[in-house]
């Protein structure tokens, strides 16, 4: 089938819930994707922050293939070696105490909400607790996760959502203090907002929220589903900020492309929240996906991915300075590590820029607030940055 036939067949049979770009990807190698016609694309999107070490990684493929031949599903009624190994590694690199594996990011958010509610229930012997979340946040599309997502367009058709969610202004500690009341059991924050527009939190803001949670004995949930797993230059962004959450959410790059997420808790939370019977999942933490977690963490550590992010970030940022200087429609840039956004003015639409870049062989993303979002694999080189920036400049020069 050629790409037109594939697109037509897909649209005939798939519920049209995504506006997909007009491209059919066939395979990938390193940081390059190939469409079915054989055209090459430089990947600066990583499948929305998932393919952290690019495509066709031999170590990863070997681990997965070996596990496929042994066991790929067994119920959570039983133990298996990969669950033991992956949870040990994940607790180590996240600096958290206990892990619960899920199948997606949204499912990790759901688990965190239940954990926080149960913690408050145990402590005060009553139910009725709610969550404080941030404006412009994104936590996923399931009903619980959508309830704490601060973007009206995603929410309005589905109201009423979960009760007792109050929104505060990101990076405004006073507004968080105002939103917290006696019914608050947790505050959920992305240390770097992704979908909302690639906006890093201020260190003082996260420290202030931490202190507030300590004072009130409520739980701090960091959603690092997008900014975690090395993307900002530390294993989790909260390590860079020096602020520890009570519950840490991870997914996207966690399985290197296989679908797995997790919520991680401290011992304090584990000891007085969910107990057997409170929560569960059929596939979560299966042997195949936990093998992927183990391989991802090993590759990240052994292949020096964090070092690559940290050594190339100043260069990437200097090239983004150039874009802002040279292109009239680029107002500013912001981000952390390999999670960067170029803020565009009203003369161009980020979505049109993404489309034009794709036609020129560069895969990039947009984000809220008319932002062009870059989430390259953590293995890119200086030459890849040069190539991507050249295409972005070319496109922005034409678009403006």
Active-site residues, by number, are 138, 223, 252
Tokens of 124: 């005060």
Q: Please, which residues have CB within 8 angstroms of residue 12's CB and are 6 or more apart in sequence?
A: none
Binding residues for ligand PLP, per CB under 6 A? 104-106, 109, 138-140, 190, 194-195, 223, 225-226, 251-252
Q: Coil, strand or helix: which one is 249?
A: strand
* Biggest distance spanned by C-alpha atoms of the chain: 62
Of all residues in this chain, which one has the CB nearest to ligand PLP in the complex?
A: 105
Q: Interior CA angle at 231 toward 99 and 238, to 5°?
A: 55
Residue 362 near residue 32, CB atoms below 8 Å: no
Choose between 104 and 115: whose C-beta lies nearer to ligand PLP.
104
Residue 308, CA atoms < 13 Å, CB-side half-sphere: 21
Choose between 77 and 153: whose C-beta lies nearer to ligand PLP.
153
Query: How far is 294 from 375, CA to CA, in rounded Å?
Result: 22
Choose between 130 and 194: whose C-beta lies nearer to ligand PLP.
194
Choose between 166 and 224: whose C-beta lies nearer to ligand PLP.
224
Q: How far is the CB of 308 from ligand PLP (least distance, A)?
A: 22
Tokens of 266: 């401290």
Query: How far is 387 from 382, CA to CA, in rounded Å?
Result: 9
CA dihedral angle for residue 135, residue 138, residue 141, residue 147, rounded to 10 degrees: -30
Choose between 194 and 287: whose C-beta lies nearer to ligand PLP.
194
Return the residue matching tokens 């003015």. 345
Residue 223 near residue 201, CB atoms below 8 Å: no
Choose between 80 and 252: whose C-beta lies nearer to ligand PLP.
252
Q: How far is the CB of 175 from ligand PLP (least distance, A)?
A: 20
Query: How far is 114 from 48, CA to CA, in rounded Å?
Result: 26
- Strand order across the beta sheet in which 40-43 lies: 25-29, 32-35, 40-43, 362-363
Query: How far is 111 from 194, CA to CA, in rounded Å?
Result: 21
Query: How far is 93 from 396, CA to CA, in rounded Å?
Result: 39
Residue 264 CB neighbours (<10 A) = 28
Query: How far is 135 from 148, CA to CA, in rounded Å?
Result: 9
Q: How far is the CB of 91 from ligand PLP (least distance, A)?
A: 21
Choose between 339 and 353: whose C-beta lies nearer to ligand PLP.
339
Residues in the chain: 400
**Rounded (10°) angle between helices 287-302 and 58-70:** 160
Residue 375 near residue 45, CB atoms below 8 Å: yes
Q: How far is the CB of 106 from ligand PLP (least distance, A)?
A: 3
């Amino acid at each position: 089938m050629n790409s037109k036939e594939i697109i037509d067949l897909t649209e005939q049979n798939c519920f049209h819930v995504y506006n997909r770009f007009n491209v059919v990807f066939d395979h990938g190698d390193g940081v390059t994707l190939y469409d079915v016609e054989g055209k090459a694309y430089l990947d600066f999107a990583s499948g929305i922050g998932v393919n952290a070490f690019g495509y066709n990684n031999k170590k990863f493929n070997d681990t997965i293939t070996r596990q496929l031949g042994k066991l790929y599903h067994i119920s959570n009624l039983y133990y298996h070696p990969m669950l033991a190994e992956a949870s040990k590694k994940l607790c180590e690199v996240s600096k958290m105490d206990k892990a619960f594996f899920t199948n997606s990011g949204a499912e990790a958010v759901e688990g965190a909400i239940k954990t926080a509610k149960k913690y408050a229930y145990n402590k005060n012997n009553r139910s009725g607790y709610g969550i404080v979340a941030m404006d412009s946040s994104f936590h996923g599309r399931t009903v619980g996760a959508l309830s704490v997502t601060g973007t009206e367009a995603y929410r309005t058709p589905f109201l009423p959502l979960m009760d007792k969610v109050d929104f505060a202004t990101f990076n405004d500690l006073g507004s968080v203090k105002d939103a917290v009341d006696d019914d608050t059991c947790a505050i959920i924050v992305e240390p770097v907002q992704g979908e909302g527009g690639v906006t890093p939190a201020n260190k003082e803001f996260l420290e202030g929220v931490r202190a507030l949670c300590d004072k009130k004995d409520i739980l701090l949930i960091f959603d690092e589903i997008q900014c975690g797993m090395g993307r900002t230059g530390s294993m989790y962004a909260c390590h860079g900020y020096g602020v520890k959450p009570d519950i840490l959410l991870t997914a996207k790059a966690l399985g290197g492309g296989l679908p797995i997420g997790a919520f991680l808790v401290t011992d304090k939370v584990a000891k007085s929240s969910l107990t057997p019977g409170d929560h569960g999942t059929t596939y979560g933490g299966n042997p195949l996906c936990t093998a992927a977690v183990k391989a991802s963490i090993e590759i990240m550590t052994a292949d020096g991915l964090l070092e690559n992010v940290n050594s190339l970030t100043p260069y990437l940022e200097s090239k983004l300075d150039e874009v802002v200087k040279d292109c009239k429609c680029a107002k500013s840039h912001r981000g952390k590590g390999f999670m960067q956004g170029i803020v565009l003015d009203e003369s161009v639409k980020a979505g049109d820029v993404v489309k034009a870049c794709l036609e020129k062989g560069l895969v990039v993303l947009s984000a809220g607030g008319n932002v062009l979002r870059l989430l390259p694999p953590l293995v890119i080189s200086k030459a890849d940055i040069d190539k991507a920036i050249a295409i972005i400049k070319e496109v922005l020069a034409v678009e403006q």
